Amino acid sequence: MLRHVTVPFIAFARPRAGGDATLTFVNHPGLAAVLADLTDARALTVDQLGTPLSQADLSALDRVEHDQIGYWKPATVGELLFHFWD
């Protein structure tokens, strides 16, 4: 399970092999429902996390965040939210 550090989003991913930085997101509706009842976190689905950034509304992000996107070039919402850049 992954939780974003500043916004109440969570995601589920398969365990990574040693040294692998790739996240393979998975749906876990049962656990997502339990966590929704216990926390303020919202579980994102595989479809939501796989949304291309070109289709996402990034208007709330500031210039520095847009600069980071330009530098690191995440392709999807999931790569943007749950990254290993810093």
pLDDT value, residue 86: 62
pLDDT value, residue 21: 73
Q: What are the CA-CA distances from residue 13 to residues 27, 35, 53, 65, 78 (Å)?
A: 8, 15, 19, 24, 10
pLDDT value, residue 83: 83
The pTM of the full predicted model, rounded to 2 decimals, is 0.87
> Residues 32, 43: contact at Cβ < 8 Å?
yes
Q: What tens digit of pLDDT does each residue of 32-81 get?
A: 999 999 999 999 999 999 999 999 999 999 999 999 999 999 999 999 99
Pinpoint the alpha helices (H) of the chain.
29-38, 46-49, 63-72, 77-81
pLDDT value, residue 16: 78
